Amino acid sequence: MKTPGNDRYTYRVTWSEEDQEHVGLCAEFPSLSWLARSPEAALKGIRRVAAEAEADLRAAGEPVPEPVATRRYSGRFVVRVPPTRHQALVMEASEAGISLNRLVCEKLAD
């Protein structure tokens, strides 16, 4: 199956030490992968497999994953930490004279 021209999924190619080959991955279809000797072949393979999976889902009337790149993000997410870590972060932020949100954003940027 030829990959569609409007393919907007997110792909990654990495080396698999275990398989001694490059592995192509698709963020929107985490259960899929493609092994190949070259990174280019791994990318081509995973794109084809993702297109086939998308076509199968459409044919079955199943929901198709929305591409990561086209999703809307609010910039807000909730993180659960142990109460002692929460307290330590609040103290650190207070001592630095900044909000807890700013402190966490700075830590995530590191």
Going residue by residue through the chain, which has 110 residues, state the pLDDT in tens, using 9 for 90 and above. 555 556 899 999 999 999 999 999 999 999 999 999 999 999 999 999 999 999 999 999 999 999 999 999 999 999 999 999 999 999 999 999 999 999 999 999 97
Task: Please indicate, yes or no, whether residues 15 and 65 belong to a single structural domain of this protein.
Answer: yes
CA distance 17 to 35: 12
Task: Name the domain count of the chain.
Answer: 2
DSSP run (H or E) holding 93: helix 83-96
Q: Is residue 5 part of a domain?
A: no
> Domain span at residue 103?
73-109
Contact by Cβ (8 Å): 43, 13:
yes
Q: Is residue 97 part of a domain?
A: yes
Contact by Cβ (8 Å): 27, 10:
yes
Task: Please indicate, yes or no, whether residues 82 and 44 belong to a single structural domain of this protein.
Answer: no
Task: Please indicate, yes or no, whether residues 46 and 90 belong to a single structural domain of this protein.
Answer: no
* Best CA proximity match to 67, nearest among 2, 11, 15, 4: 11
Task: Please indicate, yes or no, whether residues 41 and 77 belong to a single structural domain of this protein.
Answer: no
* Best CA proximity match to 26, nearest among 10, 14, 37: 10
